[in-house]
Structures are given as structure tokens and as C-alpha cells.
Amino acid sequence: MRLKRTHTDESLFLLWLADWHSFHACGVTPPGFENSAGNKLNLNTGQRYLWECNQHLQTQLPQMLDGLFLVGDMIEGQNPAEGARELSDTDETFQVRGTVETLEPFVKKTRRGKDGRRNLWMVKGSRYHSGEAGNEALLGQAISARKQGRHYAPPWRFVQVGRVLFDIAHHQSFTIRNASMPLEREVGFYLERVGRARQPVPEVLVIVRAHVHKGFRFWQEDDSIFCLGLPCMKLQDTFAASSRTPNRLMPSKIGAVGVRVFSEPVDGVLLRPVPLLYEHPKDEVEVATFG
């Protein structure tokens, strides 16, 4: 799929969202939403903070988005590891409805292509959150995301934007110690794939990954290959905090990322990331007093 310019500005602005985990107790959830029990949701302190970040994010965007990309785990799902105790609603149908309501301002800002459809793409997140019913596919259908064949949220897709090819998937390789190594391996995997298929390497390649909740990363291999690690919009939950390595999933920042794609190089580059980030609340420090 090629995204073509729909106006005469010098660049295209693309917005990337991932890992919102809507309807988790630590995820983005709309206030006042009437849940499956007929009750209006009262947000906890963390959810109120995330909603404030979400509202502020909208004020930082251009009047219109040239493309909107949702890169997995936008909905929490059934939360089986915690026995659904951390859900604001266990009904995935209502989770989809509430997430549609949350995303509506972003969807409305997204331009339509020449075919009349919005320039809106999704990829599938983790099976743990997508569920057997495929709630992300239901979300994609509800917001009229572009389909790949029969799929609203395929696990992988390539989108050409001008002279830049985006290789988009939710999962990335994961190491605890070094944030750059997994992204570096993604470059190697890509070059192996195109080599085996005898495909030409694109003029500019951006590998986009999410999943690890480690904040914003933008890593450059050379003048034509980049890796973009997306931040989450979710606070660290008890599952991560109680793991064997409790700091491994603590994001430094939460938020979203814009990417500005130029028709001709500006300062030697065809694209520039625009981080739209917010502080993750810090851990409390207990002060010990003696005597």
C-alpha cells in the first residue's frame, strides 16, 4: 500500500500509537463510559493521569493527520494472568466500544486517501490481549482501518510513504540489559529476508516495533535504515512489578510518536521523529528514620 500526498505541504505527518491496553486498571480508559453492567466508569488515579495525557496529546497534533498507525495491544482483553481482576470491564465487546470512543478524535483527524478511505492502519498485538475472538480485528472494523486481504489487523505489514518504507509489527526481540541490541537484530533479520527473496533494499527503511514498554527509541543503522521503538500509554502493572526482574518493563516515558516524512531531504534526511512523551510516575521512595 502506498500512501500518497493528499495536500501540498512540504511533509506528511504520521501518528503512531501502541500498547494502550484500554480497560486495564493501568491503561487508557474513557471516563464516564457505561460498561456492560450498566454502570459509568470511575477512573482510578493512574487512569485519570493517562486520560489527561491523552487529552493533552490531541492538542499537540497538527489539525489533520496524514496517516494513523495502531501497532498492537490497544485493548487489554481478558487479563487471564491476573484472573481479570485488573479490568475495568471484562466484556471485550464493551472494551472495543470504549476504545473506539477513545480513538475517535484521532480517527476524525486522519485524512482520507483518493479512494475515500481513511489512511488508518493496524497490526495485531499479543495473542494474550487480542484473544481468540480477535478483538483487535473488531476494533479495526469499527474504526474502518484499511484491510490487508481479509484482515483489519494482520500481524505484519509494509506501508510505503513517499520514498520511505515502513516495516511494521508489534513484537520485537527483547533483552533486559541493552535496548539497542534487539532493534539491531531486527535490521539483520530484514536484510536476511530481502536477501533470500532477492528483493531490492528500499531507499529508506524504518523498522517499527512496540511491545516492550521501554519508552521511545530511535536508532540509526546507516543513512538509509532506521529502527523506531514505540512507547506505551500504560503504567507499570502488578504483573510486571512482581516479576523476577521488576524494573524490566518500567517505561522511562509513555506517550506516542509522530513521524514527519519529507518529499525531499531536509538537513540530509527524509524523515524525522516527533516524540510526544509524558513522564511515567516515579516509584515512591521510603525514607528510613532511626532513633
> pLDDT in tens for each of the 291 residues of the chain?
444 444 445 899 999 999 999 999 999 999 999 988 888 989 999 999 999 999 999 999 999 999 999 999 999 887 777 777 888 888 888 999 999 999 999 999 999 999 999 999 999 988 877 766 578 888 999 999 999 988 998 998 999 999 999 999 998 765 544 555 666 777 777 777 766 767 776 788 999 999 888 889 898 877 788 889 999 999 987 766 666 555 556 778 999 999 999 999 998 889 999 999 999 988 778 899 997
Q: In 3-state terms, what secondary structure has residue 59?
A: helix
- Which of 43, 49, 30, 154 minimizes the C-alpha distance to 103? 30
pTM: 0.87
Q: Answer yes or no: are the C-beta atoms of 128 and 51 closer than 8 Å.
A: no
**Which residue in this structure is represented by grid cell 512496540?**
210
At residue 251, the pLDDT reads 78
Q: How many angstroms separate the Cα of 228 from the Cα of each of 205, 216, 253, 258, 261?
A: 10, 8, 15, 11, 14
CA distance 200 to 198: 7
Q: Answer yes or no: are the C-beta atoms of 38 and 93 closer than 8 Å.
A: no
End-to-end alpha carbon distance in the chain: 69
**Which residue in this structure is represented by grid cell 513522564?**
279
At residue 137, the pLDDT reads 86
At residue 101, the pLDDT reads 94
At residue 262, the pLDDT reads 94
At residue 126, the pLDDT reads 85
pLDDT one-digit tens code per residue, 123-174: 998 887 776 657 888 899 999 999 998 899 899 899 999 999 999 999 876 5
Residue 251 CB-density burial (10 A; 0-12 exposed, 13-18 middle, 19+ buried): buried
Q: In 3-state terms, what secondary structure has residue 11?
A: strand
CA distance 234 to 53: 11
Homologous superfamily (CATH) for 8-279: Metallo-dependent phosphatases (3.60.21.10)
| DSSP assigned state of 20 | -
